[in-house]
Structure 1
Amino acid sequence: MKKVFTGVRVRRLREEKGLTQAALARLLEISPSYLNQIEQNQRPLTVPVLLRISSVLGVDVQRFSDDDEGRLVAELSDVLGDAGLAVTGEKVAMSEIRELAAQMPAVARALLTLDRRRREAEERLSVYAARFGDSSGDALAVPLPHEEVRDFFYARHNHIVELDDMAERMAEAWGVRPGEAEYALTARLLDAHGVQVLSPAVADSDGFAFLREFEPARGVLHLSPLLDSGQRAFQIATQLALLEAYETIEALVGTGGFRGEEACALARIGLANYFAGALILPYGRFLAAAEEMAYDIDRLGRRFGVGFETVCHRLSTLQRPGARGVPFIFVRVDRAGNISKRQSATDFHFSRVGGSCPLWSVYEAFAQPERIVTQLASMPDGRAYLWIARTVTHRQGGWGSPAKTFSIGLGCDLRHAARLVYARGVPLDEPAVRTPIGMACKVCDRPDCPQRAFPPVGGRAAADPNRCRFEPYGSSPGLSP
């Protein structure tokens, strides 16, 4: 079992509570010398002591989880990799980054905040430069609205407790039942808001351009006739979110620090969609079903009457303190490699430099449409994950009309994999069967990857006219010339 050294966190918690070492030691029923050794990282934090801390001080054990540490390591790697090269001329060692994240997480977060503010200052300078006619300002440095919204959800581990709790209470009050949500939600929309749900005939569907269109003046919600019952329930639930949870959504948007109205609007939509998923898949019932079915996505979809993507997205939100599901990473990608949705309830970090790994199973899924593909994958930092992926296709018209095809990926840390039906028969303890993947070529330091598209940042490309390597951009340690 991995030893956990969290001395700085214990000491900081003790100081927050205003306790001396002797006082905390008495509460934990251990000797002051033992507590001092824990705080000095001379002794690991054991499970009994951790549970005692949680019980006596009312602290969530998640505070001592290495998931947040893993996030910090990944984010610091992005920041300090570039910053170290620029400032000191040498790359900050991964061992130093891990030590900083583990022992001084507050300092690590402060560095990330300073880097964010630095980027914001550079963005403002770019805007001012462009305004005064200096074309050298890099407008591309300004984060796009949808990137702001992604960061908003990522920072909250893709769990919005206010909306989840509210949706669960409302689902119970309105009689929302698994697989029959459409009827209860339609009744609520009509009884409480006087809004009628209408759908045109299927024969007229070619002229209906929207999945959902609300006319508040007429009190009518139009839904596309191409939606199935689960999809209609989701759209009705989204409209109810905008009517019933408006104040809560606005308050959450207000905490996001968004730069413009476009990002605010996208955040409202994202939060309304989150509420909709929580309403038709209430937290307690859905988590119980997921555990009962070993996270079998198809079975969960049949029980609750929703599609593959909806189930996967909801599974990635089950992080309520005291009632956590498997912490998942959720992604939706297209054939070109564009990631249109990405959320993580765990330590998995999506690089800010763009791109993703072609060895990732989410791309293999396109070669096997409608079939679930599994993959054991290892990251450069040694962490291993179980990934499942499957394609989904949405069509609006008939023959010849464009269709949307995505690969939906759901992954979890290997330590949780045994809880999933997809791990049955998979050699979880065999490192040799794991596919080595990375976040993106520019921040991946694997020297022997045959799919590398770019040299790693901070590495020296091994360019030799007299040799041709199988691995493109073979690299050697040291700085780029």
Structure 2
Amino acid sequence: MAKAFMGVRLQRLREERGISQVALAKSLGISPSYLNQIEHNQRPLTVPVLLRIHSQLGLDPQVFSEDDESRLIAEVREVLADAGSESISTAELRSLAANMPAVARSILELHRRARSANDRADGLLGALGDQQRLPSFSMLGQHEEVRDYLNRRHNHVEELDEAAEMIFRDAALTIGDAAPRLAQRLRDKHGVRIVTSSGSDTGADKHRYDAATRTLVLADFLRPGQQAFQMSFQLALLEAGDVLDALLRDSAFTSDESRRLARMGLANYFAGALTMPYVAFLQSAEEVAYDIERLANRFGVGFEAVCHRLSTLQRPGMPGLPFFFVRVDRAGNVSKRHSASDFHFSRVGGTCPLWIVYEAFSQPERVLTQIAGMPDGRSYFWIARQVVSGPIGYGRPQKTFAVSLGCDLRHAHRLVYSRGLDLTEPDASTRIGLGCKVCERRNCAQRAFPSLLER
């Protein structure tokens, strides 16, 4: 950790706990004048002092994470540009993110609400013009709120990992073949009957639960690993409800719909943690150099499920690589995006068309790689592949997406996909951006819109 000037953040945390400056200085073993200098950014917050703060106040060191600060800077810069604000220097943004992160997040929340209001107005105009029934408008903002919650946690929910590991041991589940034991646990402990359906009982969903008859209906096209995932999802709602409720109480979501979406997202997290338990999955990932297809085969799940799980491995003291995960369709719609690091997905406009994830649609079944250089000078390593899900059979429509997993270039040598590539050659990288509307590159032949940053 570099020396960090985060005095206002420390002062706010101290005042929230009702601790005087003198009392905190005494508990940390430093002089009140030294603590006063830290709080006024005249001295940096060093690692030894940070560790003492963690010990005395029980604070997660991530509270002072510089990765969080970098992401916050990028997000605030973007929303201010979208709002038409005058150019604001990086130094000013860094000062805001480091010293007043709550204010910075409030700006992001106001922007999210403004976008939701604009979407509502656009939808209302369209509905009135077409004389059609008024649609529901608020889903976009609510999805963003849930994503922001997970990203603030670096896409890692330790409480659910621990609960899943406990059930994995108690149910004597087998890695790669968990479905039979899960079905037995649902039947014996909860009286849940499992049946399969050709689709009429599940519609477009992979499963449907009838609480009145205690019947879990699974789509007939699900493979055993996918069946295990859907059973684990239902088990989360039946056995980990208290954990889910506690997480939602502490989340400060602004609406019932956001809480509903978050509950479903957290139940899906639990399902991934139960079918791919943390320690065994991380050890396997390291053993095969993060070979996604080998991991999918070993744990009996799909390519996308493995990518998603890899983006959650941030347990303190036993972290995996800090990945970012994204799923898009052919039209460029981003339906999933999660980050365990400081990488920032754009909130404004689309993504960059030069990104390897879009090339995956033209080369099905192949895992593609890309070294991508960003406008801020940082470089990342990406892999991407097309995935298909849904019913099997003639005339039964399926869903097609491209999924991509990325990490900072300094970690790329640990991935099997980097073998044979020159990771040190600057000319080997593709110059991409976060999206045309917020990209600083002036000479890009693929630019679709003027940059908001050039106003």
Q: TM-score of the superposition, structure 1-length normalised? A: 0.79
What is the RMSD computed on CA atoms of the aligned residues?
3.8
Q: Select 2:356's aligned residue among 343, 357, 361.
A: 361
Deviation (angstroms), 1:125:
9.3
Please give the residue correspondences for 1:61-140 in structure 2 after superposition, counting only pairs within 5 Å.
Answer: 61-83=61-83, 85=85, 90-115=86-111
Identity of aligned residues (%): 57
Deviation (angstroms), 1:178:
1.0
In the alignment, the residues of structure 2 paired with residue 247 and residue 457 of structure 1 have an alpha-carbon distance, to the nearest angstrom, of 45
Q: Mean Cα displacement is larger for which, 416-425 or 72-81? A: 416-425
Please give the residue correspondences for 1:46-445 in structure 2 after superposition, counting only pairs within 5 Å.
Answer: 47=47, 50-51=50-51, 53-54=53-54, 58-83=58-83, 85=85, 90-115=86-111, 142=138, 144=140, 145-199=142-196, 209=203, 210-250=205-245, 252-253=247-248, 255=251, 257-259=253-255, 261=257, 263-445=258-440
Structure 1: runs of 5+ lacking an equivalent: 460-478
In the alignment, the residues of structure 2 paired with residue 386 and residue 429 of structure 1 have an alpha-carbon distance, to the nearest angstrom, of 12
- Partner residue of 1:469? none
Cα offsets for 1:180-231 (capped at 9, x unmatched) = 211210110110112222336xxx6799755323334444323233221101
Task: Decide whether the 8 Å contact of 1:242 with 1:272 is kept in 2.
Answer: yes
CA shift in 2, pair 1:259/1:208, >3 Å: closer
Q: Mean Cα displacement is larger for which, 352-361 or 342-351? A: 342-351
In the alignment, the residues of structure 1 paired with residue 176 and residue 354 of structure 2 have an alpha-carbon distance, to the nearest angstrom, of 37
- Secondary structure of 1:199 counterpart: strand
Deviation (angstroms), 1:56:
5.9
Give the counterpart letter for 2:240 in structure 1: A
In the alignment, the residues of structure 1 paired with residue 353 and residue 213 of structure 2 have an alpha-carbon distance, to the nearest angstrom, of 49
CA shift in 2, pair 1:113/1:335, >3 Å: closer
- Secondary structure of 2:449 counterpart: coil
Deviation (angstroms), 1:129:
11
Cα offsets for 1:120-147 (capped at 9, x unmatched) = 78889999999x99x9xxx998553544
Deviation (angstroms), 1:340:
1.4
Task: Decide whether the 8 Å contact of 2:253 with 2:259 is kept in 1.
Answer: no
In the alignment, the residues of structure 1 paired with residue 137 and residue 372 of structure 2 have an alpha-carbon distance, to the nearest angstrom, of 32
Task: Decide whether the 8 Å contact of 1:81 with 1:458 is kept in 2.
Answer: yes
- Secondary structure of 1:235 counterpart: helix
CA shift in 2, pair 1:14/1:397, >3 Å: closer
In the alignment, the residues of structure 1 paired with residue 216 and residue 121 of structure 2 have an alpha-carbon distance, to the nearest angstrom, of 45
Deviation (angstroms), 1:341:
1.2
CA shift in 2, pair 1:30/1:375, >3 Å: farther
Task: Decide whether the 8 Å contact of 1:76 with 1:97 is kept in 2.
Answer: yes
In the alignment, the residues of structure 1 paired with residue 253 and residue 13 of structure 2 have an alpha-carbon distance, to the nearest angstrom, of 28
CA shift in 2, pair 1:84/1:141, >3 Å: farther
CA shift in 2, pair 1:268/1:46, >3 Å: closer
- Secondary structure of 2:452 counterpart: coil
Deviation (angstroms), 1:14:
6.2
- Secondary structure of 1:286 counterpart: helix
- Secondary structure of 2:350 counterpart: coil
Deviation (angstroms), 1:45:
5.2
Give the counterpart letter for 2:329 in structure 1: D
In the alignment, the residues of structure 2 paired with residue 140 and residue 216 of structure 1 have an alpha-carbon distance, to the nearest angstrom, of 27
Give the counterpart letter for 2:323 in structure 1: F
Task: Decide whether the 8 Å contact of 2:173 with 2:182 is kept in 1.
Answer: yes
- Secondary structure of 2:330 counterpart: coil
CA shift in 2, pair 1:180/1:102, >3 Å: same
Q: TM-score of the superposition, structure 2-length normalised? A: 0.83
Aligned length, in residue pairs:
448
Give the counterpart letter for 1:94 in structure 2: T
In the alignment, the residues of structure 2 paired with residue 129 and residue 191 of structure 1 have an alpha-carbon distance, to the nearest angstrom, of 53
CA shift in 2, pair 1:275/1:94, >3 Å: same
- Secondary structure of 1:162 counterpart: helix
In the alignment, the residues of structure 2 paired with residue 230 and residue 14 of structure 1 have an alpha-carbon distance, to the nearest angstrom, of 48
- Secondary structure of 1:327 counterpart: coil
CA shift in 2, pair 1:21/1:419, >3 Å: farther
The structure having more radius of gyration, on CA atoms, is 1
